[in-house]
Structure 1
Amino acid sequence: MKSLKRQAGLPLATASLMVLLAACGTTNAADDANGTDKTNAAAANTANADAAAAANSGANTANAAADTQKEPVKVVWWHSMSGELGKAVTELVADFNASHPDIQVEEAYQGTYDDSLNKMKASLDSKSGPSLIQVYEIGSKFMVDSKAITPVQDFIDAESYDVSNLEPNILGYYTFNNKLYSMPFNTSNPILYYNKDMFKAAGLDPEKPPVTYEDVKKDAQALTKDGKTGASFAIYGWFMEQFFANQGAEYLDNGNGRTGMATKSLLDSEAGLKTMDWLKDLIDSKDALNLGRKTDDTKKAFLAGQIGMTLDSTASLRGIVDGAKDKFEVGTAFLPKPEGASGGGVVVGGASLWIMNNKPAEEQKAAWEFIKYLAQPDTQAKWHINTGYFPITKKAYDEQSVKDNMAAYPQFKTAVDQLHATTLTPATQGAVMGVFPEARQIVEGAIEETIGGQKDSKKALDDAAKAITEKIETYNKTVK
């Protein structure tokens, strides 16, 4: 109480000082509080900034990871390889996908070449078709005229891709106006297969196969005995095209349709007459059997030892040699030609790969990457060994696996030599027309009419040439 009294009795000045000090103390406390808040706020801001930076960093890392792990570009590849060929295709695609995580190729079998091409035509408006399609060689003109593809030359030029090691005689078929439109994939040519054991039994030299039409006739006569027949050649339009090329003769006007749009069939020329007369004579003399249009039928007869000679694709070589194993030795020879015919050679058959232009640029580029993979020497070596098709690159022959395969199947050297012996001319480069599938059917019909006796060679060829020319004219009207 005393103390309180003393405080109560303080002079006014002292009281005023106390009030002032209290006020000053209050002000300093507020400043301290504000200072503390500012410090805390700064710390909070710093923490928030650190958290934001960490979050941003995490987001950037996540985005980078997402970019790294983005979906691969999908390439849909339509092809017509079935059976063992289809298995070989599946292996190639699996190998590519395993080594290219940024691109995934989805292969889809679409039936025959004709079936696949018809499906592609139907898909053009809807864009539901493939990124890449395998098209047989006689579909090339249509593919170019369709305006639905991006020429592979565009990709070659863009990165200066080296094509110097690719087989020029193979590239030649798919080159138009000095531009490569598609990349060759499965390539073959026709060769003569003969039974060496039958040759020996007939007194013929098994190391001297026939070279000319006349040689084939003579050897077939010698082989036709004891219930066996000298030869059988399938009624196949491809063979007629090859017989023309082997005589250095063009199948169509305007440089086989390469210096300008083909407007006329030359089927009824001298080259056609010589070939048709030869085929008819072989049948009429019973030195050859007519087994129809399927090469599978002539192949079966050959492997059964019923015929001494036949024609077939080089792609059939491995199957024929293996099929004859423990039965007889298979010999191979160049495609025959008329006596006196000079120059010429064979036209490549098979198919090539086309990039569709209605797909995004990224997808087209991915398809090109796959094409380059397929053209590599090691890939071509594997494809060649598993299928019998030619490697499209010369470097594939340096692969040990190819050397070993050639040692196991020396008959294949005939096919390689025949390809390399062919000089590239408009005749051997191959004819091109938009109605080639239809033309082949017409030619096969003409052969049947001739050997069946319904028409003579000239009449059959004249009629066929006229029918093909009419189809060419109709097609050309549809092309701008």
Structure 2
Amino acid sequence: MKAGKSIGALLTATAMLTLAACGGGNAEQASTTDNQAAAPAEPAASAPAATEAAPAPAKEPTKVVFWHAMGGELGKAVDKLVADFNAQSDTVEVEAVFQGSYDEALNKLKTTLGTNEGPTMMQVYEIGSRFMIDTGAIQPIQKFVDAEGYDLSQLEENILGYYTFDGQLNSMPFNTSNPILYYNKDMFAAAGLDPEKPPKTYEEVAEYAKKLTKDGKYGASFALYGWFMEQFHANAGVDYVDNGNGRNAMATASLVNGDLAVRTMEWWTGMVKDGTALNLGRKTSDTKAAFAAGQVAMTLDSTAGLRGYVDAVGGKFEVGTGFLPKPADAAEGGVIVGGASLWMLNNRPEAEQLAAWEFMKFLVSPEQQAWWHVNTGYFPITKAAYDQAIVKENAEKFPQFQTAVDQLHGTKLSTATQGAVMGVFPEARQLVETAMEEAVNGAKPAKEALDAAAAEITKKIGEYNATVKK
């Protein structure tokens, strides 16, 4: 596949942005300067004076431009990591540039493909992986791993699994999370439920929700977030798209209207209809606010939000955490990693790519991952980070996070838990959320809403695939 041709076609297919004609622009720019100077010659009658080399000017560090999508407090954490790296490196200087949300950052990157205007490395959310590979504009991280003999076994296998395709690591995992159940232990106790035993299945969630719903308070509230539907599939060991979740071959069809999805939405809709679950729409920030206010007893959200949940509750009640629920008779599965990874662009000079590789290794070192985890709530992707003192101290302060660690480590790696890959994932997630909304609001039966979403996603997958096939 020719990179220039594929990039232009991909952007047309996604209908997000339109690129001008793509050019080459892979030539490295290098210059050498001879700074050796000879001492002036002495008169012939004198003994020859020794020549002395003038000191070479200090070599400028190699600059790495890093585009990321971490705003607010997360952005400050990224800036701290970058500053710490720059302070300890004489040869590499990283410039971090915030580019907005994940969607906004990826759209900005698209405008630079085929030019030399883009970054050296880029943070892209996990569902952008298929698109990044298909651009032909990335340098797989496996190249640097193999060249150096870098030991990938020091990183979490279940996190590496998502970003590995055909045995090749394409990007370096960075900020990683998965979904967990948050619950109000005080409300559990008041309802006669064991506050140390959160529900594990769909059936138990529905049963608990009935007992917890009273005095104007609800048993549960789950945001209509497409990520949750993806996770429910993985947790039941069910693929989200065909062809091994798009990992054995390019996905050609959505499976979001299968038995598991229909069963999930009927369970969810049933709780809303019987008044034991409160529907607050698509935003997890809304369900979080309701939970923190003590209005709902159970909700779902990312592990990365744990510290924010505890802070928002502020001691009004004790926050408990549990595994993502699944049907009682579901097959073995687990959770998919969320978050983002770091991608190398292949149109940058080799020295720049090597410099970015040094920065990536710094970011995944145990010390940096420990600091990142404690200050953001994202998983350490490096196993040895758990041995760092600050992580152990944080675990004592926030024991609820052990749930997330156990859930990650208990996940069995399969095509379902590796996660689906398709070039139109952002659009697919929006279509699924629309179907979830239609079902929960009673506009359509769950099966009808999901059938429509699956058909539209399948159509979009076909249009996308047509632009990347040889």
Task: Tell me the residue number matched to 1:61.
Answer: 54
Aligned partner (choices 272, 277, 282) of residue 283 of structure 1: 272
Task: Tell me the residue number matched to 1:201.
Answer: 190
Task: Tell me the residue number matched to 1:10.
Answer: none
Aligned partner (choices 134, 148, 161) of residue 137 of structure 2: 148
Give the deviation of 1:234 after TM superposition: 0.3
Matched, 1:397 2:390: no
Distance in 2 (CA, whole Å) between partners of 1:352 and 1:101 is 26
Matched, 1:367 2:356: yes
**Where does 1:161-176 land on structure 2 (aligned, <5 Å)?**
161-176=150-165
Task: Tell me the residue number matched to 2:63.
Answer: 74
Report the 3-state secondary structure (helix = DSSP H, G, I; strand = E; otherwise coil) of the residue aligned with 1:288.
Answer: coil
Alignment deviations for residues 183-206 of structure 1 (CA, whole Å, 9 cap, x no partner): 000000000000000111111110
Alignment deviations for residues 299-355 of structure 1 (CA, whole Å, 9 cap, x no partner): 011001110000000000011012213200000000000111130100000000001
**Where does 1:299-378 land on structure 2 (aligned, <5 Å)?**
299-378=288-367
Q: Do the aligned partners of residues 43 and 395 (structure 1) sit closer, same or farther apart at CA in structure 2, a change above 3 Å counting?
A: closer
Alignment deviations for residues 255-305 of structure 1 (CA, whole Å, 9 cap, x no partner): 000000000001111111110111110111111111111100100110011
Distance in 2 (CA, whole Å) between partners of 1:106 and 1:150 is 20
Amino acid in the other structure paired with 2:207: K
Q: Do the aligned partners of residues 43 and 240 (structure 1) sit closer, same or farther apart at CA in structure 2, a change above 3 Å counting?
A: closer
Task: Tell me the residue number matched to 2:249.
Answer: 260
**Where does 1:1-16 land on structure 2 (aligned, <5 Å)?**
none
Amino acid in the other structure paired with 2:235: N
Amino acid in the other structure paired with 1:254: N
Give the deviation of 1:46 after TM superposition: 5.5
Matched, 1:210 2:199: yes
**Where does 1:121-140 land on structure 2 (aligned, <5 Å)?**
121-140=110-129
Distance in 2 (CA, whole Å) between partners of 1:203 and 1:286 is 20
Distance in 2 (CA, whole Å) between partners of 1:43 and 1:269 is 91
Distance in 2 (CA, whole Å) between partners of 1:243 and 1:463 is 19
Aligned partner (choices 448, 463, 466) of residue 459 of structure 1: 448
Distance in 1 (CA, whole Å) between partners of 2:289 and 2:427 is 27
Distance in 2 (CA, whole Å) between partners of 1:283 and 1:323 is 25
Alignment deviations for residues 149-181 of structure 1 (CA, whole Å, 9 cap, x no partner): 100000000010011110000000000000000
Distance in 2 (CA, whole Å) between partners of 1:192 and 1:449 is 24
Amino acid in the other structure paired with 2:183: Y
Larger helix proportion of the pair: 1
Distance in 1 (CA, whole Å) between partners of 2:373 and 2:172 is 16
Task: Tell me the residue number matched to 1:44.
Answer: 43
Task: Tell me the residue number matched to 1:419.
Answer: 408
Matched, 1:433 2:432: no
Structure showing greater radius of gyration is 1
Report the 3-state secondary structure (helix = DSSP H, G, I; strand = E; otherwise coil) of the residue aligned with 2:54.
Answer: helix
Aligned partner (choices 351, 368, 372) of residue 383 of structure 1: 372
Alignment deviations for residues 426-472 of structure 1 (CA, whole Å, 9 cap, x no partner): 00000000000000000000011111111101111111100000000
Give the deviation of 1:47 after TM superposition: 4.2
Q: Do the aligned partners of residues 304 and 150 (structure 1) sit closer, same or farther apart at CA in structure 2, a change above 3 Å counting?
A: same
Give the deviation of 1:61 after TM superposition: 3.2
Distance in 2 (CA, whole Å) between partners of 1:44 and 1:461 is 94
Matched, 1:229 2:218: yes
Report the 3-state secondary structure (helix = DSSP H, G, I; strand = E; otherwise coil) of the residue aligned with 2:297.
Answer: strand
Distance in 1 (CA, whole Å) between partners of 2:43 and 2:411 is 84
Amino acid in the other structure paired with 1:269: G
Distance in 2 (CA, whole Å) between partners of 1:43 and 1:468 is 83
Report the 3-state secondary structure (helix = DSSP H, G, I; strand = E; otherwise coil) of the residue aligned with 1:126.
Answer: coil
Superposition TM-score, scaled by structure 2 size: 0.90
Report the 3-state secondary structure (helix = DSSP H, G, I; strand = E; otherwise coil) of the residue aligned with 2:396.
Answer: helix
**Where does 1:439-450 land on structure 2 (aligned, <5 Å)?**
439-450=428-439
Superposition TM-score, scaled by structure 1 size: 0.88
Q: Do the aligned partners of residues 47 and 182 (structure 1) sit closer, same or farther apart at CA in structure 2, a change above 3 Å counting?
A: farther
> Can you give the 5+ residue segments of structure 2 that lack an aligned partner in the other structure?
1-40
Report the 3-state secondary structure (helix = DSSP H, G, I; strand = E; otherwise coil) of the residue aligned with 1:331.
Answer: strand
Amino acid in the other structure paired with 1:127: N
Distance in 1 (CA, whole Å) between partners of 2:146 and 2:241 is 31
Distance in 2 (CA, whole Å) between partners of 1:290 and 1:190 is 18
Q: Do the aligned partners of residues 334 and 48 (structure 1) sit closer, same or farther apart at CA in structure 2, a change above 3 Å counting?
A: same
Task: Tell me the residue number matched to 1:36.
Answer: none
Alignment deviations for residues 38-81 of structure 1 (CA, whole Å, 9 cap, x no partner): xxxx982264842xx43xx1xx3322xx1xx1111000000010
Q: Do the aligned partners of residues 43 and 448 (structure 1) sit closer, same or farther apart at CA in structure 2, a change above 3 Å counting?
A: closer
Give the deviation of 1:126 after TM superposition: 2.6
Q: Do the aligned partners of residues 47 and 296 (structure 1) sit closer, same or farther apart at CA in structure 2, a change above 3 Å counting?
A: farther
Q: Do the aligned partners of residues 155 and 230 (structure 1) sit closer, same or farther apart at CA in structure 2, a change above 3 Å counting?
A: same
Q: Do the aligned partners of residues 348 and 43 (structure 1) sit closer, same or farther apart at CA in structure 2, a change above 3 Å counting?
A: closer
Report the 3-state secondary structure (helix = DSSP H, G, I; strand = E; otherwise coil) of the residue aligned with 2:340.
Answer: strand
Distance in 1 (CA, whole Å) between partners of 2:181 and 2:299 is 6
Distance in 2 (CA, whole Å) between partners of 1:431 and 1:126 is 30
